[in-house]
Amino acid sequence: MLNEFSKNLVVLGANSDIGSVLVERASQQPDANILAVSHQSPLPASADRENVERHHGIDLSDESHLNSLAKLVERKFNGPFGVVHSVGHFWIHKSLVETSFTEIVAMIKSQVLTLFGVARFLTPIMIKNKGGRIVTFSCNSVGFNYPDMSPFTASKAAIESFVKCYANEHAEFGISACALALPTIRTPKVLKEKANGDHANYITPEQLVDFIINHVLTQPHEVNGNVIKLFKHSPTFYHSSYYDRNPRRDGSPKSKLL
């Protein structure tokens, strides 16, 4: 059954492949009240709905912007609300020494610091409004410890740890949090990066969003602090090696590190 967390919803990263679908589908619910926030660009005009309030140009790693976000949220919601954090840089498989330090910093900042900032500035409003729910994204790479992904996977591991700590710290206020450990999601970026992947068995953004709206945002408060693993069976994934699935760009089995 849909509840206040799925209807009164803040979507962060609202112009991302997942966030844009979430805004569209969440806004179709009766009595929905959606705050859609993006960093660089607004949602397309095709996404216009009267029950969606849009704001772009908000940097979730900047304290002044986080303060502005908190004011928007406080003005919009007078009761419990949900937050979906669909924010973070896309990763292209490559080794650590092939990754610039600037890229490493940007990855950690976009994945982890934005989540910390959002939680820090919106939690007081959730407490005042007597309830809230945060949903964010991890990756199944945390469980498998794949090579060529360390800045991304380490950031996702930090997200999982944060969600568990946050849930324990704020359960008494009717606030819950979870992370979805995602497999490969069928977005245009992924299809381009993994041209030879098992596309038929990738989860689509629409499937993911429906699961978030109908199951994750509506779960009881007692379901809290969890990492939810989501996947579809793929013969290619489960019966081939990492390097078979992710060949080097030059076709070699290993990186030319130096």
Q: Where are the alpha helices (DSSP H) in the chain?
A: 4-7, 17-26, 63-76, 101-108, 114-128, 141-144, 150-170, 188-193, 205-211, 235-238, 242-245
The whole-number pLDDT of residue 257 equals 44
Per residue in 161-211, pLDDT (tens digit) is: 999 999 999 999 999 999 999 988 888 887 887 777 778 888 899 999 999
Query: Is pLDDT above 80 for 241?
Result: no
pTM of the entire predicted model = 0.90
Q: Helix axis angle, 114-128 relative to 63-76, nearest 10°?
A: 30
**4-245, CATH topology level:** Rossmann fold (3.40.50)
The whole-number pLDDT of residue 63 equals 98
Mean residue pLDDT across the chain:
89
Place of tokens 């002044």: 64
| Percent of the chain predicted with pLDDT > 70 | 92
pLDDT band at 72 (very low <50, low <70, confident <90, very high): very high
| Neighbour-count burial for 117-146, b at 16+ CB within 10 Å, e otherwise | bbbebbbebbeebebbbbbbbbbbbbeeeb
Identify the three-state secondary structure at position 236. Answer: helix
Query: Is pLDDT above 70 for 247?
Result: no
